[in-house]
């Protein structure tokens, strides 16, 4: 899990509620990412940020929002507009270099009741 | 459309045996190929990363190969251990100026004693 932490590990939400997933890294990486993982599917990119105060939509951004006020933090809010939010959410940060390797956090499992 | 296909979808082998996982991709422009190990309920952990010019890379009992001409990669696990039970995900990076990752759906490996 390296220097990336995600909290909480498990999260339960009622329909119609917004929830915020936390992601913190102490690796001094500029770029951070949010992915969603569903059974039988590859990871899908929700949002990414390459620098503080800037972020871009990924492939499945609808129903999600993010902020990047600090280099170390990249929280993800799952809004009530997300139709099927139950999934495993992974945060990652990227090292600069020849490989641009991404390091993943331990994940948050969100279940909508 | 960029795609990464992995086979087999699942595999069960006896402890101590070797196995090989396959990854075929149609991603361009190709930047690098990565293999990750993901334990159940955890974040992926990097095993190997290879660029276009690298055709083999090892990490302990894990050896990855890359054939950029046929767009195929394999991950060979030697002398399997119970702790190797996990999902193995092939990820291919394309670089359009901004890096874009395409994830395979993974191979679920189970090692039995």
pLDDT digits 0-9 by tens, A69-90:
999 999 999 998 888 999 999 9
Q: How far, in Å, CA of B74 to CA of B72, rounded? A: 7
Question: Residue B7 in contact with residue B22, Cβ under 8 Å?
Answer: yes
User: In this complex, do A106 and B43 lie within 8 Å of one another by their Cβ atoms?
Assistant: yes
Question: Residue A46 in contact with residue A37, Cβ under 8 Å?
Answer: no
Mean of pLDDT values over B37-45: 96
Give the containing element (helix H, strand E) for B76.
Answer: strand B72-77
Q: How far, in Å, CA of A82 to CA of A80, rounded? A: 5
Q: How far, in Å, CA of B37 to CA of A58, rounded? A: 23
Nearest-Å Rg of the Cα atoms of chain A is: 13
Q: Does B28 touch chain A (CB under 8 A)?
A: no
Give the A:B interface size as CB pairs under 8 Å: 51
Q: A70: which DSSP letter?
A: B
> Hey, how many other C-beta atoms are within 10 angstroms of the C-beta on A3?
14
Largest CA distance in chain A: 44
Mean of pLDDT values over A23-27: 96
pLDDT digits 0-9 by tens, A92-105:
999 887 778 899 99
Both structure tokens of B49: 């990363």
- Position A1 scores a pLDDT of 47
Q: Which residue of B has its CA nearest to A96?
A: B99
User: In this complex, do A98 and B93 lie within 8 Å of one another by their Cβ atoms?
Assistant: no
A98 contacts in chain B (CB < 8 Å): 51
pLDDT digits 0-9 by tens, B70-81:
999 999 999 999
Mean of pLDDT values over B20-41: 95
A46 contacts in chain B (CB < 8 Å): none
- Position A2 scores a pLDDT of 52
Q: Does A97 touch chain B (CB under 8 A)?
A: no
Closest-CA distance, B100 to chain A, in angstroms, reads: 9
């Amino acid at each position: 899990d390296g220097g990336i932490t995600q909290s909480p590990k498990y999260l339960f939400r009622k329909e119609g509620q917004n929830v915020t997933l936390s992601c913190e890294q102490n690796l001094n990486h500029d770029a951070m990412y949010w992915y969603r993982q569903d059974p039988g599917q590859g990871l899908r990119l929700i949002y990414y940020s390459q620098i503080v105060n800037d972020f871009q939509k990924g492939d499945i951004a609808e129903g999600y929002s993010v902020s990047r006020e600090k280099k170390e933090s990249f929280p993800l809010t799952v809004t009530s507009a997300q139709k099927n939010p139950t999934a495993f959410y992974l945060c990652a940060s990227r090292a600069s270099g020849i490989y641009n390797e991404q390091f993943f956090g331990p994940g948050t499992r969100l279940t909508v009741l | 459309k960029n795609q990464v296909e992995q086979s087999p979808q699942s595999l069960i082998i006896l402890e101590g045996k070797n196995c090989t996982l396959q990854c075929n991709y149609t991603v361009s422009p190709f930047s690098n190929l990565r293999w990750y190990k993901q334990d159940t309920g955890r974040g992926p952990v990097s095993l190997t990363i290879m660029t276009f010019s690298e055709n083999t890379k090892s990490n302990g009992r894990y050896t990855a190969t890359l054939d950029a001409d046929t767009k195929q990669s394999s991950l060979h696990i030697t002398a399997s251990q119970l702790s190797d039970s996990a999902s193995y995900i092939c990820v291919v990076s394309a670089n359009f100026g901004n890096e874009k990752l395409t994830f395979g759906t993974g191979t679920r490996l189970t090692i039995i004693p």
